[in-house]
Chain A
Amino acid sequence: AQKVTQAQTEISVVEKEDVTLDCVYETRDTTYYLFWYKQPPSGELVFLIRRNSFDEQNEISGRYSWNFQKSTSSFNFTITASQVVDSAVYFCALSEARDDKIIFGKGTRLHILP
């Protein structure tokens, strides 16, 4: 069965600090996809990244980076030099290739303090 665990319910850091959001997943499939979404205070869901299970290369996009490790079933998200605008709820999600559905974690609420 698919499962996504985001153990950190809420994190607060001071602006300009680096912060890592953890995501651990469970799946029986060898082909699957992982996602991160951002939900700012305005409420909409913003797609950040999608990775497939065959691509373990870490990815960097500006201040955002993602560390995918199949050995530990983790897909962690790091924000470098955090900014107040990064304050949001961040969701990790999983989809198996044979399935039509995406399963979301419970989210991590990130507070960036000025």
Chain B
Amino acid sequence: NAGVTQTPKFRILKIGQSMTLQCTQDMNHNYMYWYRQDPGMGLKLIYYSVGAGITDKGEVPNGYNVSRSTTEDFPLRLELAAPSQTSVYFCASSYLRGPETQYFGPGTRLLVL
């Protein structure tokens, strides 16, 4: 039982490049979330999903896209990377909605130059 896994651990992108951050959970959780954590700041919700085929915007969705074709996977896509997207990205999952404990992946550190 690996929990929530994220790849890659670290990536450097040039401005305008695109990439997909991968997130997989093996706990059969319905709910999955993407957060970003900027230096010295708390986590801000980018997108979340309440089940396969259903996604919704969080607090800071601009510049990102998501899809949820399976229960296990919730990839986050950056289409045109910008320096403002330099951050640490965390994926999380929970069995039920919001108040349930969210379990986090180890994070992906992204640097956009």
Q: Which of B48, B58, B104 contacts A44 (CB 8 A)?
A: B104
- Chain B, 73-113, contact with A by CB distance < 8 Å: what is the 0/1 string? 00000000000000010101000011101111111000000
A102 touches B104 (CB 8 A): no
Let me know if B42 and A106 touch, CB within 8 A: yes
Q: What are 24 A-to-B residue pairs whose CB atoms are below 8 Å?
A: A6-B42, A9-B40, A35-B101, A43-B106, A44-B105, A44-B106, A45-B92, A47-B101, A50-B99, A91-B43, A95-B99, A96-B98, A97-B99, A100-B31, A100-B50, A100-B56, A101-B45, A101-B48, A101-B98, A102-B98, A104-B35, A104-B43, A107-B41, A107-B42
Residues of B within 8 A of A (CB): 31, 33, 35, 40-45, 48, 50, 56, 58-59, 88, 90, 92, 97-99, 101-107
